[in-house]
Amino acid sequence: MKTITRKSLPLTAVEAGELSALRVEGTPERNALFELMPEDMSTSEAAILRAVFTLGRQRLHEHMLERGYAAERDEENDEDRAARAMLRFRLLASSVRD
């Protein structure tokens, strides 16, 4: 991975403490991070911050998808629901025949 830019990230005292815990092998924080990001990474602050940032980006993307699906569902009308029900019926009927 080629680094394009480096950013300064101010941390509160609580965040700095959490970052320290993420760097120590065997802590609950570190164990959780490695469950979510199983790739081998160094214990450097930069590597840990990148992993946490990546997890945040993934969660943000998931949230955006959830909102999009909810918006589509809210826009669905009776005709859409009837068409989906007919499609389900046809799929079930064809699977019974096979």
| 4 domain residue, yes or no | no
What per-residue confidence (pLDDT) applies to 21? 96
What per-residue confidence (pLDDT) applies to 2? 76
Residues 35-49: what's their mean pLDDT?
Answer: 88
Is there a contact between 24 and 42 (Cβ–Cβ < 8 Å)? no
| 26 domain residue, yes or no | yes
Q: What percent of the chain has pLDDT over 90?
A: 53
Structural domain including 32 reads: 13-97
Distance CA 45, CA 11 (A): 12
What residue has token string 């930069």?
46
| 35 domain residue, yes or no | yes
Residues 66-73: what's their mean pLDDT?
Answer: 84
Angle at 13 (CA atoms; ends 11, 14), nearest 5 degrees? 95
| Count: domains in the chain | 1
pLDDT band for 64, please (50, 70, 90 cuts).
very high
48 exposure class (CB count in 10 Å sphere: 0-12, 13-18, 19+): buried
| 78 domain residue, yes or no | yes
3-state secondary structure of 38: coil
Report the candidate in 95, 94, 92 with the shortest Cα–Cα distance to residue 84: 92
Query: 4-27, pLDDT tens digit by residue?
Result: 888 899 999 999 999 999 999 999
